[in-house]
């Protein structure tokens, strides 16, 4: 083709041009080929007046782009050299050594620790080829400010490459982020490792974006993208030009502090309840459930936890943390965030729970501690609720009449129905009066109320020792939540003593039905 023939005479001169400027022959050959390709494409698209001028303009432009990255690194680390005084002429681009390529990655890593106010100007100057005047116009700054930011950026990059700050080891942050006190979706804001890393970094004290980057190893561009969402979710507060985590994180080491402070009182409480279990054996054996062949251990398991919860309610008093705060996203309440031991992101194994499934004539409750929660059992209670059974505290026969074979088989598997032709329920059922009497029997030791008040005081004192002062206003609501773990500690102690049976999976330990309105357990 005519265009090809016209360009042939430039092949050798262009290669010599590249060899004179690039130390590596292979790089020079690649660059020469790129120049010739662009020249050929241009000839096919445009009407070119002077072929010589066209080819050499392309050669200079492509070489300038080729050398920008390496020249930038060389300029960036010239000691004491003001970057804005560097020549923009072709002669300023000296050949670079091969080791500069090895440092380029570190330069860009360090660059990404700069906040946007410094990073964007630096990129536009060194890589975009914009002049100081153009940068001043683009960012509505004075030329003096542009020069100052370029020098600050350059010095910060040098400092960060000299130190070990860039060598971050990324470790998964294991947080349980599915719980709140109030009503909003905690996981919508804290489910990602990026969000957790940012919040963990600025938990102890407010940090700037660059400081967060240096602490986490995350590029500032990711931090800047994430911060608006975290601020909207009330997970982060902006304090001047710094950012601070706006919720308490109960870390594993913090939980150890709490456990050490309360375990003597937990042991005392467990001893008292062990005696109560022994003295209440007659009442337990007279319950309708045990009389029909049910497991007496299930009654004790329920009664102890219900009584513990009653004592906690009295001990907490006004320790509720005040009214729920209204949130930007329309919800209300506080984050309940706990560090977990592994990537399962589960709650502390001692944490008390009570799930309720409503029926027409009463409620099915499933209570216990996280260690023994069984999702299959919980789904079984919902399966019963869909059939609206049981329909009364004494109801037995409706199970056989209403449940199909598939439902019955699944409920037998998870321990909610007994094996056998009659398909009797295998969990306790109470009238409101019967259940109230059972709880009062186990809640009769008034001297334990002072012990519980002492435990809550110790928990609060522990929190004051590890919670940042700016978050102290959230301490009471957290103490109230953490009080639930007291139930777990006492139950676990009773199990270890043999006073309570250890629930097996699957088993319906902790499931009960109570007639009438909902009651707080």
% of the chain beyond a pLDDT of 70: 84
pLDDT in the model for residue 215: 85
pLDDT at 164: 45
Tell me the pLDDT band of 87, cut-offs 50, 70 and 90: very low
Could you report the per-residue pLDDT of 242-268, keeping only the tens digit for each? 999 999 999 999 989 988 888 898 999
Identify the pLDDT of residue 106: 67
Q: What is the mean pLDDT of residues 456-465?
A: 90
Q: What is the pLDDT of residue 315?
A: 84
Looking at residues 301-305, what average pLDDT do you find?
Answer: 95
Domain 2-162 has CATH 1.20.140: yes
Using 50, 70 and 90 to split pLDDT, how confident is the model at 432? very high
202-217: average pLDDT: 90
More confident residue, 25 or 348: 25
Supply the pLDDT for residue 72.
53
Instruction: Quote the CA–CA distance of 188 and 324 in Å, as a whole number.
Output: 19
CATH numeric code, 175-247: 1.10.10.10
| pLDDT value, residue 321 | 55
Count other Cβ atoms within 10 Å, centred on residue 201: 21
User: In terms of Cα–Cα distance, which of 480, 519, 441 is closest to 273?
Assistant: 441
Q: What percent of the chain has pLDDT over 90?
A: 29
What ranges do the domains of the chain cover?
2-162, 175-247, 252-515
Only one residue has tokens 């509505």, namely: 140
Q: Which of 183-197, 242-256, 268-282, 317-331 has the lowest mean pLDDT?
A: 317-331
The pTM score is: 0.63
C-alpha span between 220 and 206 (Å, rounded): 16
Residues 6+ apart with CB under 8 A from 130: 124, 138
pLDDT at position 84, please? 45
| Of residues 163 and 384, more confidently modeled | 384
Q: Which residues contact 261 (CB under 8 A, 6 or more apart)?
A: 458, 459, 461, 462
Question: Would you say residue 170 has pLDDT above 60?
Answer: no
pLDDT at 129: 65
77-99: average pLDDT: 40
Segment of 14-28, 39-53, 160-174, 389-403 carrying the highest mean pLDDT: 14-28
138: CB partners within 8 A, 6+ apart: 124, 130
Q: Who wins on pLDDT, 88 or 355? A: 355
Instruction: Give the model's confidence band at 345: pLDDT under 50 very low, under 70 low, under 90 confident, else very high.
Output: low
| Cis peptide leading into residue 390 (ω within 30°) | yes
368 forms beta bridges with 353
Centre a 10 Å sphere on the Cβ of residue 275 and count the other Cβ atoms it contains: 12
Supply the pLDDT for residue 75. 52
What is the per-residue pLDDT for 499? 94
What are the tokens at 420? 């056998």
Q: What is the structure's pLDDT at 398?
A: 59
Q: What is the pLDDT of residues 372-419, one digit of tens each?
A: 989 899 999 999 988 888 877 666 655 556 778 888 889 999 999 888
Mean pLDDT rounded to a whole number for the chain: 82
Per-residue model confidence (pLDDT) at position 110:
77
Give the chain's largest Cα–Cα span.
Answer: 110
User: Which of the pair, 109 or 305, is modelled with greater confidence?
Assistant: 305
pLDDT at 165: 44
User: Which structure tokens are listed for 86?
Assistant: 């560097």
At 471, the pLDDT band (50, 70, 90 cuts) reads very high
Q: Most confidently modeled of 35-49, 415-429, 440-454?
A: 440-454
- CB-based contacts of 241, cutoff 8 Å, min separation 6: 208
Q: Are 114 and 157 in contact (CB under 8 A)?
A: yes
- pLDDT band of 512, cuts 50, 70, 90: very high
Average pLDDT over residues 428-444: 93
Q: Which of the given ranges, 54-63, 239-248, 320-329, has the highest pLDDT on average?
A: 239-248
Strands (DSSP E) contained in 117-198 are: 175-183
The region of weakest confidence among 19-28, 161-170, 509-518 is 161-170
| pLDDT tens-digit map of 219-237 | 888 888 899 999 999 999 9
From residue 45, alpha-carbon distances to 5, 39, 42, 65 in Å are: 16, 10, 5, 22
- Give me the pLDDT at residue 485, please: 86
pLDDT attached to residue 507: 79
Query: Closest Cα to residue 288, out of 442, 429, 439?
Result: 429
Condensed to tens digits (0 to 9), the pLDDT of residues 106-156 reads: 666 777 778 888 888 887 776 666 788 888 888 888 988 898 888 888 888
């Amino acid at each position: 083709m005519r265009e090809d023939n016209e360009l042939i005479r430039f092949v050798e001169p262009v290669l010599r041009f590249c060899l004179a400027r690039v130390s590596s022959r292979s790089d020079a050959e690649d660059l020469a080929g790129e120049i010739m390709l662009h020249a050929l494409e241009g000839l096919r698209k445009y009407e070119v007046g002077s072929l010589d001028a066209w080819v050499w303009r392309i050669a200079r432009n492509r070489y300038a782009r080729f050398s920008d990255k390496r020249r930038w690194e060389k300029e960036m680390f010239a000691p004491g050299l003001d970057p804005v005084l560097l020549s923009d002429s072709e002669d300023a681009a000296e050949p670079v050594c091969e080791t500069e390529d090895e440092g380029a990655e570190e330069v860009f890593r360090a660059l990404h620790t700069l906040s946007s106010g410094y990073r964007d100007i630096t990129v536009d100057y060194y890589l975009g080829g914009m002049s100081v005047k153009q940068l001043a116009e683009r960012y509505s700054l004075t030329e003096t400010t542009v020069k100052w930011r370029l020098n600050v950026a350059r010095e910060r990059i040098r400092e960060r490459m000299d130190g070990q700050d860039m060598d971050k080891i990324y470790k998964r942050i294991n947080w349980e982020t599915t719980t709140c006190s109030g009503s909003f979706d905690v996981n919508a804001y804290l489910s990602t490792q990026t969000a957790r890393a940012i919040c963990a970094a600025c938990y102890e004290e407010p940090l700037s974006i660059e400081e967060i980057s240096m602490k986490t190893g995350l590029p500032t561009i990711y931090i800047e993208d994430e911060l608006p969402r975290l601020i909207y979710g009330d997970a982060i507060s902006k304090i001047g030009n710094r950012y601070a985590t706006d919720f308490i994180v109960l870390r594993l080491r913090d939980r150890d502090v709490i456990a050490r402070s309360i375990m003597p009182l937990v042991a005392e409480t467990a001893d008292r309840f062990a005696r109560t279990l022994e003295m209440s054996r007659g009442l337990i054996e007279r319950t309708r459930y045990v009389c029909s062949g049910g497991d007496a251990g299930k009654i004790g398991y329920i009664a102890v936890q219900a009584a513990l919860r009653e004592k906690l309610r009295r001990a907490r008093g006004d320790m509720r943390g005040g009214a729920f705060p209204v949130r930007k996203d329309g919800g209300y309440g506080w984050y309940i965030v706990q560090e977990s031991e592994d990537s399962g992101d589960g709650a502390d194994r001692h944490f008390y729970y009570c799930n309720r499934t409503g029926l027409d004539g009463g409620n099915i409750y499933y209570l216990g501690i996280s260690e023994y929660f069984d999702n299959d059992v919980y789904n079984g209670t919902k399966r019963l609720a869909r059939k609206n059974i049981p329909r009364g505290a004494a109801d037995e026969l409706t199970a056989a009449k209403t449940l199909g074979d598939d439902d019955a088989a699944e409920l037998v598997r998870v321990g909610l129905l007994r094996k056998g032709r009659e398909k009797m329920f295998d969990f306790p059922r109470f009238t409101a009066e019967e259940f109230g009497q059972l709880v009062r029997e186990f809640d009769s030791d008034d001297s334990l109320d002072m012990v519980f008040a002492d435990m809550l005081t110790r928990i609060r004192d522990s929190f004051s020792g590890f919670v940042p002062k700016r978050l102290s206003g959230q301490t009471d609501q957290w103490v109230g939540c953490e009080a639930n773990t007291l139930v777990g500690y006492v139950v676990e102690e009773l199990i270890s003593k043999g006073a309570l049976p250890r629930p097996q999976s699957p088993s319906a330990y902790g499931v009960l039905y109570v007639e009438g309105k909902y009651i707080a357990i």
